[in-house]
Structure 1
Amino acid sequence: MSELTPQQRTELEAAAFRRLVAHLRERTDVQNIDLMNLAGFCRNCLSNWYREAAEEKGLPVSKDASREMVYGMPYEDWKNLHQGEASATQKAAFALNTPHK
């Protein structure tokens, strides 16, 4: 990828990020616990990474604002509209897959 300038690389990464966020907004059927169990991250992780990147740049982005950027609406609204109760199987898988500190 040495043929790309740093600006081009950043633009491509930003486009891929925006596409990922759009995809996650459309796939409301995929629960965060499913993402955590399969991929080790979820929408909340993504919003935290966004907020942390803003903090590193000295930009004021709140937890609520970063979640709204990922979810496309306030987090509580998304939870009320789309989040179901996790099954016993999902909870067991989460307990097995979650790193213990």
Structure 2
Amino acid sequence: MDDQTRTELEAAAFRHLVAHLQARTDVQNVELMNLAGFCRNCLSKWYRAAATERGVEISDAAARERIYGMPYEEWKAKHQREASPEQKAAFQQANAH
């Protein structure tokens, strides 16, 4: 496979992942972190880092909006729930070094 095709496939897969996460507002970031070790915020940071590596300036807010599909504060107000004690404990356990 040539590099251009690989890049196009990876970009398509990324767009599909972002669309899936935007549609699945029931899945909380803490759940993603506990199960997969990354969340929507991680994706927005990776997106911003990729832009910076290519000389493209993008703010944290703009990167988050790209991933969340709306301003982050709006997403939090509409969809974010308080993490349960079990979720918090699992997060602490997973991130204890």
TM normalised by structure 1 equals 0.94
| 1:23-77 deviation per Cα after TM superposition (whole angstroms, max 9, x unaligned) | 0000000000000000000000000000001011110111000000000000000
Structure 2's unaligned 5+ residue stretches are none
Within 2, Cα distance between the matches of 1:7 and 1:83? 38
TM-score (norm 2): 0.98
Q: 2:25 aligns with which of 25, 28, 40?
A: 28
Distance in 1 of aligned mates of 2:7 and 2:92:
36
| Consecutive aligned runs of 4 or more in structure 1 exceeding 6 Å deviation | none
Q: Is the alpha carbon distance of 1:5 and 1:46 closer, same or farther for their aligned partners in structure 2, counting shifts above 3 Å?
A: same
The sequence identity of aligned pairs, in percent, is 67
Query: What does residue 55 of structure 1 align with?
Result: 52
- Kindly report the root-mean-square deviation, in angstroms, between the aligned alpha carbons of the 2 structures: 0.7
1:98 paired with 2:95, answer yes
Q: Deviations over 1:5-31 (max 9, x none)?
A: 100000000000000000000000000
Other-structure match for 2:75: 78
**Gaps (5+ residues) in structure 1?**
none
